[in-house]
Each structure stands twice: as structure tokens, then as C-alpha cells.
Amino acid sequence: MHSPIPTLMWQGDVDGQLVLLDQTQLPGALVFLECTNADEVWIAIQELQVRGAPAIGIAAAYGVCLGAQAALDTEIEAMQSRVLQVCDYLATSRPTAVNLFWALERMKQVAQRAGSSRPRQRASELLAEARAIHSEDAQMCAAIGQHGAELFSDLPKGSGILTHCNAGALATGGEGTALAVLFELARRGQQPKVWVDETRPLLQGARLTTWELMQREIDCTLICDNMAAQVMQAGAVQVVITGADRIAANGDSANKIGTYSLAVLAHAHGIPFYIAAPTSTFDPAIATGNEIPIEHRSGREIVQGFGKAIAPEDVPVYNPAFDVTPASLIAGIITERGVISQPTTERIANLL
């Protein structure tokens, strides 16, 4: 299997820059963005040039480092004030992915840490924290892949696994969440047959997941979202695995719109439905999925998908980016610490 192309990387020291793989250009072109300030990171997150809950958190952490550069030659109080301001600003880029807020909170804690009175030293500490967040995520992805592969070790070779949206290396600092499981199964010789939902409205399954799987030489077939039921009915799917952007304390999970539909279909066909996500995606402060904020995006993404009009311009559009799958439909949540089978508030709290 080919090595993945880095989704994001920091170049240089405290006065360096963040380089992002522009995911809006895939699969047609490999375009890298050089972000030199927090505004460019905010735009990259908002415009989905970088996306996926873990990758958003990592990018935001590096974005704080960029924002801190404006205070390198000031006093420590000015540096702390600047970092807190940048954190609050980056938190407005997208509302649903909890990793964004988790990473920014870690950066705030570093900014407010007692000790060094020199802004440049504090900037070094901030960069070290951002790099730690990045490294930890790569390790979490590897562990998720291992736990998932163990969970599905009894699946026959060539079993059908259906996934939705993109939960691979492009969405994280490592190999991904749901796709990390598939990559590990492939390394172990289980030859998974992957069914990939196109994933409306931005086709992240079609554009990104198929690209990643083909890069790794893993057998995959692209289907339209409304074909999933027929593929299941035909007996071609044995397991469904998706990622998540936020998981409530009781296990209700928010993921790209259409995930809830898949869970309902899987339940109707007796197919186990799994979520793969790091523990940083859990939000214990939210009791149930009813409290998860759902991002609503511009209707233009549907009416004029990728610049081509496919519906009347003045038609009203309802375009939520996420839906919430109830924990009752989830067979298990695969984390870097292990698998939570039939998730409940108590089981999740015990793992966390």
C-alpha cells in the first residue's frame, strides 16, 4: 500500500507556517495551501479545505501558533491576550466538530500557564502543544485501527463493509478513524470489499474516500447514497463503519448528513453499525444528541454543486451538514482505548 500524502504539516519554528492539502481540489489536483495567519486557517476550516473533526482540531491548534506570531515581540500579558482572542475567533469557524473546541482549550491552557515571562518561549510552548495534539492523533488513529481489526477479525475474506463520508487520513493526523480499521484489515490480508457512499452534498465519499482507498489499492465501489438499501438487501454488506464529529455522553453520534439513514437501514437488514472515533470526539458535557449543534450550510452547495447549476437558483434548500444517530442503533464505538459495545452513558463514562 502506498504511503498517505500528509493532510497538514507545520514548516519551521515559531515563526513558521501551516501547510494544508486543499481537499476541495481533490481528486482532480494536489494543491497545497500555505497558511501564514489565523484568518487563512479560519477560512480553510470554514471552506472545508481542511475537514474531518480531528484534522480541524489540529489545524486550529496550529492556527493559534500563527495568531501568536503577532505578539512575539511584546510582553507576556499581550501574548496571553492575543492567544485567547485567536482561540475565540477560530472557535467560530465550524460549530459541530467537538475536536475543534477540545484542541483550542488545550492551547488556552498553555497560554495561561504560569512560568515563562518571555513571549517567544510561550510561543515555543504553544507550538509544542500543537505538535503534541498532532502526534497524539496519529497514535490514536493507529490504535483505533488495531482495535477495529481485532473486532472484525472473524469476518470472512472479502466481506462487504460500507462507509460514509470521509474518515481517513485526510480527516485526521494519522490514518483516520473508520478507514484506519479498513487499512489495518487490508494489511492483515482480509481483503475488505468497501462500499463507499458518495455522501451529499459535497461528495466527500466520492471525491476523498475512494481516492484514499485506491491510493492504498483497496477494493472499493462507489454508490449513490440512495443505493445503500439495495446493496444491503442484496447481501453485499456485512458491516457499516463511519466516523463521528461529536458524540454525546449517552453515545448519540453526530456525523455527516446521511449517517442516521444508514443506521436505520442497517438495523432493518440486521447489519451491525459501528462508529470509529477517538475519545477526543466525545463531549461529556452534552447528555444526548438533541443538544448537539448542527451546522447548516449554504444551499448553493446543492443548487450549484461545484459551480454547475443542477436546480433552479431560487428554489428553497434545506442543507444540514450533519445528522445524529441514536446510540440505540449503534452496535459499538471503536476508540483508541477499546470498543464500547452497545454504548450507554455508564459504559462511555467508564471508558473515559
Residue 76 contacts residue 25 (beta carbons within 8 Å) = no
Type and span of the H or E element at 141: helix 119-151
120: which residues sit within 8 A by CB, 6+ positions away? 14, 72
283 catalytic? Reply is no
Sheet holding 246-248, edge to edge: 282-283, 246-248, 253-256, 322-325
Give whole-number Cα distances, 143 to 172, 175, 186, 239, in Å.
13, 10, 15, 20
The single residue of 225, 245, 252, 283 carrying the catalytic annotation is: 245
Distance CA(164)–CA(295), nearest Å, equals: 18
In three-state secondary structure terms, 11 is strand
Q: Provide the strand spans (E) within the chain.
A: 8-11, 17-21, 32-35, 160-163, 193-197, 220-223, 239-242, 246-248, 253-256, 273-276, 282-283, 322-325, 332-335, 338-341
Q: CA 141, 170, 221, 343: dihedral to nearest 10 degrees? A: 40
The single-letter DSSP state of residue 331 is S
Q: Which residues are catalytic?
A: 245
